[in-house]
Amino acid sequence: MFSPTSLAVPVLFGSVAIGASAAILAWRARPNPGAKPLVWLLVGQSWWSTCIVFSLSAGTAAEATFWTKVGWVGVMTVPVAWILFSLEYTGRDEYLTRRNVALLAVVPALTVLLALTESYHGLLYVREVGVTAQGSVLVEQGGIWYVVTAGYTYLLAVLGIVPILGLLSSGATAFRGQSAALIVGVATPWATNVLYNLGAFPNVGIDPTPIAFAISGVAYLGAIDRFRMFGANPAPAWRAKQFLFDHIHEGVVVVDGHDTIVEMNRAAAETLDIDMSRALGAQGTDVLPLNEPFRADGGRELLTVGTGSTSRSYDVAVSELTDRHDETLGYVVTLHDVTRYLQQQQRLKVLNRVLRHNIRTETNIIQGYAERTSGETAETITNRTARIVEISEKGRDAIDLFEDTVNDREGTSLVGLLERSLDAARDAYPEVEFVLERPAADAAVSEGLSVVVNNLIENAAIHNDGEERRVTVTAAVDDEQARIRVIDNGPGIDDYELDVLNSGTETPLRHASGLGLWLVKWGTEVIDGSVTFESNDPTGTVVTTTVPVRRSGLSHHNT
């Protein structure tokens, strides 16, 4: 007569063979993360299956119960090996300290001990319950500790699956295949065991979990061979993220939506001069003395830490963290040290102030001598003197450009900026017609854009020598960018000048004629924008400047 136990022995032999094959492949790959724990997991499964075979083949009840008790060594090896494999394979081996591994082994060690000594206490009993028609002795297991052991193994199974689940959404096909195979490999026997303990297999007569190891072994073989589990391993990716976060030079603080610090790297702790363990769980606004609270639209601020000569300044960037529903989870606060940059800017400001003063003094003297003469020579001296003053003013524009970019935290109105630039141009060049085509909607842009626009308009007006001199400024805004076009009908910019700008550097033999276009190029780069030059039809130049739109509101600079 057919019985489930008659089919169990050959299936168990098959699961042992498959598990042994997978164990050999894992052993060969043992330098790779997760290989050794997987070997122990497969050995545990094979040992469990082998003991069940011996139990079913036993001629006496004593032999059957003995092999069932010894089988608990494999039973308890599997869940511990699984959690160790999961953590090591996904790069979370920082949790695998000797202390943690020893704690994981406490329940398994007690379980094996209680199984071998069950006749003295009955906490984990192993008893004969009958004999099959084929003569196999059936064994029953139970007791209070059996429930504890089952709960413990299920817990380790779930905890081990959680890191693997994260790989299902990986961009790498190999990682997705590996994780799917691993989940099948661990979920199949565990689900079988849960159903067995719930009484879903009343007529089987044995625990069918080892039989499910045949499916489990095939899944592990597929993960190793088909999806190159030890040839394409995700462990470095996880460790790299942790390494970058911990060792990046910039300070990084992560706060949740309730202003609680949940993570901080070493650089941030050193910058803020605070113990990391004390900072975690503290209020973000207490640790980070910012003028503005964290905002959903991000923002930037300048933070000074320390006093006197030891103080340092940091550019603070706040970025929002959202879930897949675009709900705010928290904020990432990045501290970028700009102390040296600000010191250099201060030195440049002082140097520029001194040079401007000296240049003005000397040019005034030269202008005084020119006024005492007449004719073409006097006119030439006057024009050249004005040119020297203009160059000194361009130097001041360069300082303003960098200074405005650093200090500009909110942004300014694009329309207001364009109107101010054109009003100044109309006063300076009354013979030129200036036209402004406003955007459909206003937007906040960096104040540094004003230097760029001023120089573009000035360049278009000065170098336009036609009879009807006209400069048109247009602007368009979308969700991410603002595009400003300055169009003139003059002779156009010389190709040589543009070649120098495109090369990005000046040499003794190749240099642009002035600072104006350089300020345009530098200005767009500083505010993360771009600039392009095109010919206008029939004459002139079209310069298009594209800059990012600020997410924050318009500042008080608006007009």
Mean pLDDT along residues 42-51: 94
pLDDT at 149 over 60: yes
User: Among the listed ranges 99-108, 248-257, 490-499, which one has the minimum average pLDDT value?
Assistant: 490-499
At 130 the pLDDT is 63
Helix, strand or coil, per DSSP, at residue 106: helix
Round the average pLDDT of the chain to a whole number and report it: 82
Q: Are 385 and 370 in contact (CB under 8 A)?
A: yes
CATH number of 248-337: 3.30.450.20
Who wins on pLDDT, 220 or 241? 220
pLDDT digits (tens, 9 = 90+) for 215-227: 998 999 888 888 8
At 547 the pLDDT is 93
- Residue 256: alpha-carbon gap to chain centroid: 16
Could you please report the per-residue DSSP string of 139-203? EEEESHHHHHHHHHHHHHHHHHHHHHHGGGG-S-HHHHHHHHHHHHHHHHHHHHHHHHHTTS-TT
At 354 the pLDDT is 66
Q: Identify the CA nearest to 461 among candidates 491, 483, 438, 436.
A: 491
Q: Which residues does 28 contact at the CB level (< 8 Å), separation at least 6?
A: none
Q: What is the identity of the amino acid at 116?
A: L
Please tell me the distance from the alpha carbon of residue 255 to that of residue 282, in angstroms, as a whole number. Answer: 9
Q: What is the number of H-type helices and E-type strands within the chain? A: 18, 14
Please tell me the distance from the alpha carbon of residue 497 to that of residue 510, in angstroms, as a whole number. Answer: 9
User: Among the listed ranges 292-301, 375-384, 418-427, which one has the minimum average pLDDT value?
Assistant: 292-301
At 405 the pLDDT is 57
pLDDT digits (tens, 9 = 90+) for 24-40: 999 998 888 999 999 99
pLDDT band for position 75 (cuts 50, 70, 90): very high
Q: Where are the beta strands (DSSP E) in 290-411?
A: 299-305, 312-322, 328-337
What is the architecture of the domain spanning 408-559?
A: 2-Layer Sandwich (3.30)
At 448 the pLDDT is 81
CA–CA–CA angle 55, 49, 176 (5° rounding): 165
User: Among the listed ranges 17-31, 38-52, 305-319, 518-532, which one has the minimum average pLDDT value?
Assistant: 305-319
Sketch the domain layout of the chain as residue ranges.
4-238, 248-337, 341-407, 408-559
Helix, strand or coil, per DSSP, at residue 123: coil
Kindly report the pTM of this predicted structure. 0.58
Query: What's the fold here for domain 4-238?
Result: Rhopdopsin 7-helix transmembrane proteins (1.20.1070)
Q: Which residues does 423 contact at the CB level (< 8 Å), separation at least 6?
A: none
Q: Identify the CA nearest to 88 among candidates 171, 32, 40, 162.
A: 32
Copy the structure tokens of residue 129.
């319950």
pLDDT digits (tens, 9 = 90+) for 480-531: 899 999 999 988 877 766 665 665 554 444 444 556 777 788 888 888 899 8
Q: Are 5 and 205 in contact (CB under 8 A)?
A: yes
Q: Identify the CA nearest to 70 among candidates 109, 115, 28.
A: 115
Percent of the chain surpassing pLDDT 70:
82
At 280 the pLDDT is 87
At 6 the pLDDT is 61
Q: Are 381 and 364 in contact (CB under 8 A)?
A: no
Q: Which of 119-133, 277-291, 298-312, 387-401 has the highest mean pLDDT?
A: 277-291
Who wins on pLDDT, 181 or 359? 181
Who wins on pLDDT, 478 or 348? 478
Burial class of residue 52 in the structure, from the number of CB atoms within 10 Å of its CB (0-12 exposed, 13-18 middle, 19+ buried): buried
What's the DSSP call for residue 506? -
| Owner of token pair 């695998």 | 96
Residues recorded for the chain: 559
Copy the structure tokens of residue 555.
């500042």
pLDDT at 1 over 50: no
Please tell me the distance from the alpha carbon of residue 475 to that of residue 437, in angstroms, as a whole number. Answer: 7
Q: Which residues does 324 contact at the CB level (< 8 Å), separation at least 6?
A: none
Q: Identify the CA nearest to 170 among candidates 181, 160, 179.
A: 179
Please tell me the distance from the alpha carbon of residue 316 to that of residue 332, in angstroms, as a whole number. Answer: 10
By DSSP bridging, strand 433-437 and strand 470-477 are parallel
Q: Which of 53-62, 180-189, 301-310, 516-525 has the highest mean pLDDT?
A: 180-189
Q: What is the identity of the amino acid at 240?
A: A
At 355 the pLDDT is 66
Q: Are 128 and 139 in contact (CB under 8 A)?
A: yes
Q: Which residues does 82 contact at the CB level (< 8 Å), separation at least 6?
A: 37, 41, 156, 157, 160, 186
Q: Are 88 and 37 in contact (CB under 8 A)?
A: yes
At 398 the pLDDT is 63
Who wins on pLDDT, 42 or 302? 42
Please tell me the distance from the alpha carbon of residue 277 to that of residue 374, in angstroms, as a whole number. Answer: 79
pLDDT at 204 over 60: no
At 512 the pLDDT is 47
At 554 the pLDDT is 54
Please tell me the distance from the alpha carbon of residue 410 to that of residue 554, in angstroms, as a whole number. Answer: 7
